[in-house]
């Protein structure tokens, strides 16, 4: 059986993909695997770029375990099956008057997959999706069904909320939510200089701020989201069709030309920057956060302390320009609140995330490695779901609670049932 992730960067041939429908079935799968000496990797929507999903053994998907199990509008919480896809979650929550506090820029991931890699949106006062979780139920590497929250076991809770599926198979998660809210989205074309000059205001005076800088240009697209009571101003049918054609079809066509003639990337970046238009929309939050990403790419993203953000970005710009790197995908910059999750890139620091992308099929290793050298210089920590070239020794220096995390991982999964070759190098006892 051949399997590949969304971007095509990871390919493997698992023995089988299993689709359990209940916690009992999951326990059985774990016990069978232990008895037959097989390893397990869990899969959400396969949207991670890093090697965390690679396996020649068993893949377990919770696609048959989706939906809301229970909810409480008063305390604004809901317990959902861990396989629930974020788009479905948004729609189901909306029906009961609730919404996620924040989201990333797509909604096709499963909630378990998104939590497991530290998926984040943007917003200086808002944490990663893992910080929205108040309780997790999971089957550990011994086949035991466990429930953990902050009160029951703070250390385990701080480890499991971002754990790459190395502690067990999440079956249910309880999420802290907001009442349904509307967001006004304002997008603008600006110069990079202007954007950096007003950065402080953009970050602190807006609920969600991010920007995309187009390489080989001085142009950025800024995006501000703020809660509002204003009347809806939805994306009209005509604009939807035009966006689909421009952002997907035309961008894909230009990207494909750049794949054949890499030097053309610079022109594509300039055309894309030229095509940015200003806009304002108002809609329910779950409709605003999610965008469509149908042109496939590979990605590296680093969390960099806020005090180094501008310097790191300018160095990246100089690198791309001096070396004439053939890239046309914009560099995305977001801002996220600190958390207390042991191996979260946002651990103990409110910081910026800088992401570099390359069109699928175009070489990315040289560009990503040189970008990583800049991020590393500024104490950057990579997004776990995206490409990075770090070793165990790098991670152990980046995370003060690295050893503690490994000890907890070893208690929950002493046989390394959930470790593939890549994760073994990071988390196995002798790693």
Ligand X SMILES: Cc1cc2nc3c(=O)[nH]c(=O)nc-3n(C[C@H](O)[C@H](O)[C@H](O)COP(=O)(O)OP(=O)(O)OC[C@H]3O[C@@H](n4cnc5c(N)ncnc54)[C@H](O)[C@@H]3O)c2cc1C
Side-chain-facing half-sphere of 16: CA atoms under 13 Å: 6
Distance separating alpha carbons of residues 393 and 387, to the nearest angstrom: 17
The values of phi and psi at residue 376, to 5°, are -65, -40
CB of 335 to ligand X, least distance (A): 13
Q: Which residue's CB is nearer to ligand X, number 48 or number 287?
A: 48
Q: Which residue's CB is nearer to ligand X, number 48 or number 371?
A: 48
CB of 268 to ligand X, least distance (A): 19
Q: What angle do CA 35, 38, 44 make, to 5 degrees?
A: 120
Q: Which residue's CB is nearer to ligand X, number 171 or number 265?
A: 171
CB of 418 to ligand X, least distance (A): 8
Q: Which residues bind ligand X (CB under 6 A)?
A: 6, 41-48, 52-53, 62, 82, 104-106, 109-110, 112-114, 116-117, 119-120, 164-165, 169-170, 293, 383, 385
Strands (E), 65-159: 68-72, 77-81, 98-99, 133-140, 145-149
**Three-state SS at 354:** strand
CB of 385 to ligand X, least distance (A): 3
Distance separating alpha carbons of residues 250 and 260, to the nearest angstrom: 16
Q: Which residue's CB is nearer to ligand X, number 53 or number 99?
A: 53
Q: Which residue's CB is nearer to ligand X, number 276 or number 355?
A: 355
Q: Which residue's CB is nearer to ligand X, number 110 or number 131?
A: 110
CB of 121 to ligand X, least distance (A): 6
* Residues 123, 208 contacting (CB under 8 angstroms): yes
Longest dimension (CA), the chain: 61
Structure-token match 């651990």, residue found: 347
Distance separating alpha carbons of residues 88 and 93, to the nearest angstrom: 8
CB of 166 to ligand X, least distance (A): 8
Distance separating alpha carbons of residues 84 and 194, to the nearest angstrom: 41
Q: Which residue's CB is nearer to ligand X, number 76 or number 149?
A: 149
Burial class (CB in 10 A: 0-12, 13-18, 19+), 1: exposed
CB of 164 to ligand X, least distance (A): 4
């Amino acid at each position: 059986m051949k399997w590949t992730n969304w971007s095509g960067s990871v390919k493997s041939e698992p023995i089988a993909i299993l689709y359990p429908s209940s916690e009992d079935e999951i326990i059985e799968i774990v016990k069978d695997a232990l008895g037959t000496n097989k390893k397990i990797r869990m899969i959400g929507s396969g949207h991670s770029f890093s090697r965390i999903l690679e396996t020649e053994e068993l893949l377990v998907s919770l696609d048959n375990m989706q939906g809301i199990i229970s909810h409480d509008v008063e305390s604004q919480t809901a317990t959902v099956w861990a396989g629930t896809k974020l788009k479905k979650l948004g729609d189901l929550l909306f029906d009961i008057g609730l919404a996620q506090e924040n989201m990333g820029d797509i909604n096709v991931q499963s909630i378990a997959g998104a939590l497991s890699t530290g998926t984040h949106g943007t917003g200086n006062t808002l944490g990663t999706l893992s910080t929205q979780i108040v309780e997790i139920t999971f089957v550990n590497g011994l086949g035991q069904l466990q429930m953990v929250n902050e009160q029951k076991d703070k250390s385990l809770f701080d480890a499991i909320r971002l754990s790459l599926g190395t502690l067990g198979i999440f079956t249910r998660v309880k999420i802290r939510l907001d009442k349904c809210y509307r967001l006004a989205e304002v997008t603008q074309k600006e110069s990079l200089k202007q954007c950096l000059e007003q950065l402080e205001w953009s970050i602190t005076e807006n609920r969600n701020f991010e920007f995309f800088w187009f390489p080989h240009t001085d142009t950025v697209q800024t995006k501000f989201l703020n809660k509002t009571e204003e009347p809806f101003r939805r994306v009209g049918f005509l604009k939807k069709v035009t966006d689909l054609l421009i952002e997907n079809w035309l961008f894909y066509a230009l990207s494909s030309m750049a794949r054949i003639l890499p030097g053309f990337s610079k022109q594509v970046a300039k055309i894309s920057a030229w095509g940015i238009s200003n806009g304002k929309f108002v809609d329910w939050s779950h409709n605003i956060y999610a965008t469509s990403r149908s042109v496939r790419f590979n990605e590296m993203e680093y969390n960099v302390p806020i005090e180094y953000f501008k310097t790191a970005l300018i160095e990246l710009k100089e690198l791309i320009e001096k070396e004439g790197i053939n890239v046309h995908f914009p560099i995305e910059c977001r801002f996220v609140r600190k958390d207390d999750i042991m191996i979260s890139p946002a651990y103990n620091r409110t910081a910026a995330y800088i992401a570099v992308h390359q069109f699928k099929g175009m070489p990315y290793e040289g560009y990503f490695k040189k970008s990583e050298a800049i991020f590393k210089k500024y104490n950057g920590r990579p997004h776990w779901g995206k490409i990075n070239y770090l070793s165990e020794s790098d991670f152990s220096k980046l995370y003060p609670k690295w050893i503690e995390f490994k000890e907890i991982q070893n208690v929950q999964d002493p046989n390394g049932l959930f470790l593939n070759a890549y994760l073994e190098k990071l988390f196995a006892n002798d790693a």
